[in-house]
Amino acid sequence: MSDEIVAVSGLTKRFASVVAVDDLNFNARKGEILGLVGPDGAGKTTTLRILAGILPADMGSVLVAGQDVLREPEAVKSRISYMPQQFGLYEDLTVTENIRFYADIFEVSRTVRQQREAQLLEASGMSRFRDRLAGQLSGGMKRKLGIACALIHTPQLLLLDEPTTGVDPVSRRELWSILYSLVFEGVTVLVSTAYLDEAERCQRLLLMHQGRSLFFGTPTDLKSTLCGGVLSIGSSNPQALQMATAGEQGILRATAMGDGLHIVVDDPDRRLVELRERFDRTGIPFGDIRRIPASVEDVFVYVISQQAQEAREQ
Amino acid sequence: MNGAPSIVVEQLLKRFESFTAVNQVSFQVRSGEIFGLLGPNGSGKSTIIRMLCGLLTPSSGAATVVGFDVARQAEEVRKHIGYMSQKFSLYNDLTALENLQFFAGLYGVKGSALNERIAWALKMAGLAGSERSLTGELSGGWKQRLALGSAVLHRPQVLFLDEPTAGVDPLSRGQFWELIHQMAREGVTILVTTHYMDEAEYCNRLALINQGLIVAMGTPTKIKQLAINGAILLVECNPLGRALAVVKQAPGVIDASVFGAALHVAVDAARLPLPELPAFLASHEVRVDRIELISPSLEDAFVSLTGDRTFSDEAAE
Amino acid sequence: MSRKEFIQIRRDRRSLAIVLFLPLIQILLLGYGARLDAKHIPVYVLDQEGSQHSQALLKAFQASPYFNVVKAVENYGSLVRAIDSDRCKLGIVIPWNFSQRLDDSGRATVQALVDGTDDNSAQLAEGYAEAVVATYTGGVQLEWFARQGLPQQAISPMSIDNRTWFNEDLESKNFIIPGTVALVMALMGALLSSLTIAREWERGTMEQLIATPVTALEIMVGKLVPYLLISLLDAALCAVFAVAWFEVPFRGGLGTFFFTTALFLIVILGIGYMISVATKSQLGASQYALLVTLLPTTMLSGFAFPIHQQPAFIRALSYLVYSRYYVSALKRIFLDGAAINQLVPQIAAMTIYALVVGFFATRAFRKSLQ
């Protein structure tokens, strides 16, 4: 318990009639990357804002580094860094001026600041752009500057709101490797994302949907909640194949993709054989049928459907 | 999918002062095909769409949409296309019905066809009976389908989808794509632009775009296979930090990144199964728990391609 | 915090230009436009006596910069016609027994005929004429007649406006200009400070700021201090301009000037800040700022319309208007050479205002998204 940096229990937040966050429970350890993963409207930004102490909550308790954030939000702010979706940069200030501003706010001493600034700029390849106005940087560099500003004071907890949205894959990887290097240094990172596939990059994740928690744990455990497996069948006419699966046993979900069919089944080995026979009989051209690992999206849909089914049965 | 190419793009180029946004891009899309332009923000895909909609004139090169030249017959082009953008199409302070009526007016849908099409669009979006709801109050999935409905009231032959399902929950996304597939079956040509790798998997064919250039073209499967002249190994090991630092020096390893509790290591396929890897890591005091061969994703493909090579697979189709 | 604001202000070329040039331009415009006095009022004279005394009196009129003795006529009819045809605004008739009456009783009456159609210049003409005559010899009195296209009507001379009390040369600009300085300061200050918070919300940097340990007080002080310094600089510029260009006398001490100005600015900046916190949009903020400063200051502060001449109800209302105290203080500093100990009521009033505004401004800003 002593290395638990974030402990959230029963967190609830309402905006007028909408419940943005409903009874969330999760925690994050020291030196861990925890992902808040879910589509738009899941409540990720709201949760991060509450943790940052800038939004009050209706119910529940939030402890960050031992401080009660809901009761004394200001106490925690010197130990955390929050980067909202718009990065919080001043466009008419240079790179150095932005960093200096945040350093001053966090009362970082001059020598420490100069040292860390050199380090951070070097690591993100921005040393050449010291005197460039922040507004003139490319999107990827703005992001890096935002992170540098967030890290100038060595926080214990880093809260990032959708830092990878719209970013090209190369920059995305760079960003994640920066996050991992932080984690290796002992910083706890909470990052939110609407990209379900990014869940696999986190050490643990909180899968969210419409304010509620669908799952909390490791990506591996998440995948094992899917009772069954996923089959992929290559075909030039996926829609025809999809229609052919109608009425077949054990099909949890069949989705036509661009160049094949993606089927979630309850018993992969058995259904694979059955489906091959079925498709053979229809005469629709198809390639090989393989078992592929379940994606986070598959699990997401599975969990939601299960919940819907349980609700119906009650 | 049947024969005639619906969209033909030939060496399309667009320059803004000294910046070349689109650099001699060429591709063709058949009617009934779902074609994706996959690339990050700023790669030029929005510029290409705007040129194909007749909103921007190309600096050089040519493009035709259902036979009409986009530079010289822009008006005709616009009559035959529908454009849908999830974030920008709809007016939040109008009701669903009002939005549909507005777009019907824009596209010149009149008379008996008007009511019929609006009813159809509402039914497709699942909003029949809720047409008086304010658009701003609808959630992502409904808005998406409504935006789609408003883009096809005039039964266009070509449909442009601009980042259609970013951020929307997977269930709604699945429903949306079923609608698209149905339209494709009916012969509508669909061009999708997205930066979202997952979304690209719904396309029949893709063109990967980066900095104005097409970096690869083909079906999703082909691109994944061809992009990496190698394979990806999942390596569960401990401690991750040190493992990441040293693995890149291992023989046969091209690149590595952390994924949760494991490393994804890109290796040279010719040297698979790389038996010396565990020993190499062990010699650096890294304990290896599991190594598994996994299939590369589109993102892996993109990253490896946007080094310095451009790749086209058109000939192999 | 302040350093960042300074850098941002410096970078914002457009705002900078506005901050420096606008006050000067405003003073220029208002200074010239608000001229409520006139010079070289055309006068026709009829000297029925032609004596040394009468000539001396006429020379006094001639010497005054306010009058331009255009012509001497021979008879009454010509004088009347001259006024009717607008060739002059004032006619002076010196009676045939002018000197005799002066010698006899030390008092004589001179007729003054004024064009009554233009009320404003009529009053001015009367005022100036009385002044001229008063300096001549103690005994000359003006008998006033107004000409308004009808037979002359006798009118009683207006009491000389006591606004001339400290203005030996009756220049109204000396009253207008200090008031203009106040107006310009109010406008500038409110506009600048009302945008600062709203801008950070609009750009999205505020969200991050409130997640840091910086306190609400630090944010407020840090943001307003640069504007205070810049506005003081502005005030100095305006004062220099007023003295150098418009030749308004400046008899007070610089220390007093800056102290009262700073006090006033605290009030203004505080108000602007509160607007900024309340509206969260730059457009709305600037509109409110204009409303809250321009209107009261122009109408009620004694800037253009002397307060004591307004109806009682308005007078009472003006006590509430903060700028009133500053305008009054400014006028006294410029024209009176008043020092701090002579401005106690104004300073006290402004200090109360500053404290009240400061109290509410500090509490207005909450470090929260709700």
Is the predicted pLDDT of residue C54 greater than 60, yes or no? yes
pLDDT of residue B312: 31
For residue B4, what are its two tokens?
Answer: 């005639």
Query: pLDDT band at A83, cuts 50/70/90?
Result: very high
Mean pLDDT of chain A: 88
Mean pLDDT computed over B266-292: 82
Is the predicted pLDDT of residue B10 greater than 70, yes or no? yes
The third-level CATH classification (topology) of the domain covering B229-295 is Alpha-Beta Plaits (3.30.70)
pLDDT of residue A215: 92
pLDDT of residue A28: 95
pLDDT in tens, B179-216: 899 899 888 999 999 888 888 889 999 999 988 999 88
Query: pLDDT band at B28, cuts 50/70/90?
Result: very high
Chains B and C touch (3+ CB pairs under 8 A): no
* DSSP, residue by residue, B36-76: EEE--TTSSHHHHHHHHTTSS--SEEEEEETTEETTT-HHH
Residues from chain A that touch B292, judged by Cβ atoms under 8 A, are none
Distance CA A23, CA A10 (A): 4
pLDDT in tens, A234-270: 888 888 888 888 888 888 888 888 888 889 988 888 8
Residues from chain B that touch A209, judged by Cβ atoms under 8 A, are 169
> C70 in helix, strand or coil?
strand
pLDDT of residue A156: 93
Q: Which residue has the tokens 């308005």?
A: C314
Mean pLDDT computed over C235-255: 78
Please tell me the distance in Å from A258's CA to the nearest CA on chain B.
4
What is the chain A residue with the closest CA to B175?
A: A255
Instruction: Name which residue leads in pLDDT, B60 or C109.
Output: B60
B271 CB burial (10 A radius; 0-12, 13-18, 19+): middle
Q: Of the candidates A226, A215, A309, which has an alpha carbon nearest to the alpha carbon of residue A267? A: A226
Asked whether the domain spanning B229-295 has the same topology as the one spanning B5-224, the reply is: no
Is the C-alpha dihedral spanning B40, B41, B43, B44 positive or negative? positive
Instruction: Name which residue leads in pLDDT, B316 or B30.
Output: B30
Mean pLDDT computed over C319-329: 69
Domains of chain A as residue ranges with CATH: 4-221 (3.40.50.300), 227-293 (3.30.70.980)
Instruction: Name which residue leads in pLDDT, C184 or A227.
Output: A227
pLDDT in tens, B150-175: 888 888 999 999 888 877 888 888 88
A261-275, B3-17, B56-70, C39-53 — which is least confidently predicted?
Answer: C39-53
Nearest to B302 among A169, A176, A194 (CB): A169
**Looking at chain A from residue 181 to 240, which residues have their Cβ under 8 Å from any Cβ of chain B?**
181, 184, 194-197, 200-203, 209, 218-220, 234, 238-239
C345 CB burial (10 A radius; 0-12, 13-18, 19+): exposed
Please tell me the distance in Å from B79's CA to the nearest CA on chain A.
27
Please tell me the distance in Å from A110's CA to the nearest CA on chain B.
30
What is the value of pTM for the model shown? Answer: 0.74
Mean pLDDT of chain C: 73
Is the C-alpha dihedral spanning C253, C256, C258, C261 positive or negative? negative
Tell me the CA distances in angstroms from C313 to B158, C179, C298, C301, C305, one per residue in order: 73, 22, 17, 14, 15
Q: B5-224 architecture in CATH?
A: 3-Layer(aba) Sandwich (3.40)
pLDDT of residue B316: 28
Is the predicted pLDDT of residue C170 greater than 50, yes or no? no
Mean pLDDT computed over A73-83: 91
Query: pLDDT band at B309, cuts 50/70/90?
Result: very low
Is the C-alpha dihedral spanning C247, C250, C254, C255 positive or negative? negative
pLDDT of residue C169: 41
Specify the DSSP element, H or E, that contains A175. helix A169-184
pLDDT of residue C158: 40
Residues from chain A that touch C8, judged by Cβ atoms under 8 A, are 90, 92-93
Note whether A112 contacts C: Cβ–Cβ < 8 A: no
Is the predicted pLDDT of residue C320 greater than 70, yes or no? no
Mean pLDDT computed over A123-148: 84
Is the predicted pLDDT of residue C18 greater than 80, yes or no? no
Please report the ipTM that was assigned to this predicted complex.
0.77
Range with top average pLDDT, B13-17, C167-171, C235-239: B13-17
pLDDT of residue B229: 64
Mean pLDDT computed over C32-51: 71
Mean pLDDT computed over B8-13: 92
User: Are B206 and A166 inside 8 Å of each other by CB?
Assistant: no
> A52 in helix, strand or coil?
coil
pLDDT of residue B192: 93
pLDDT in tens, A150-207: 998 889 999 999 998 877 777 788 888 888 888 888 899 999 998 888 888 899 999 9
Asked if residue B91 lies in contact with residue B99, where contact means CB atoms within 8 angstroms, the answer is yes
pLDDT of residue B164: 85
Name the DSSP letter for residue C156: P
User: Are A77 and C203 inside 8 Å of each other by CB?
Assistant: no
Is the predicted pLDDT of residue C80 greater than 60, yes or no? yes
Is the predicted pLDDT of residue C302 greater than 60, yes or no? no
Is the predicted pLDDT of residue B115 greater than 80, yes or no? yes
Domains of chain C as residue ranges with CATH: 2-34+172-364 (no CATH), 41-164 (3.40.1710.10)
Phi and psi torsions of A61, nearest 5°: -135, 140
Mean pLDDT computed over B245-263: 82
User: Are A219 and B36 inside 8 Å of each other by CB?
Assistant: no
A109-113, A121-125, C17-21 — which is least confidently predicted?
Answer: C17-21
Query: pLDDT band at B63, cuts 50/70/90?
Result: very high
pLDDT of residue C193: 81
Percent of chain C predicted with pLDDT > 70: 68
Note whether A39 contacts B: Cβ–Cβ < 8 A: yes
Nearest to C207 among A54, A90, A100 (CB): A54
User: Are B260 and A200 inside 8 Å of each other by CB?
Assistant: yes
Is the predicted pLDDT of residue C121 greater than 80, yes or no? no
Domain boundaries, chain B: 5-224, 229-295
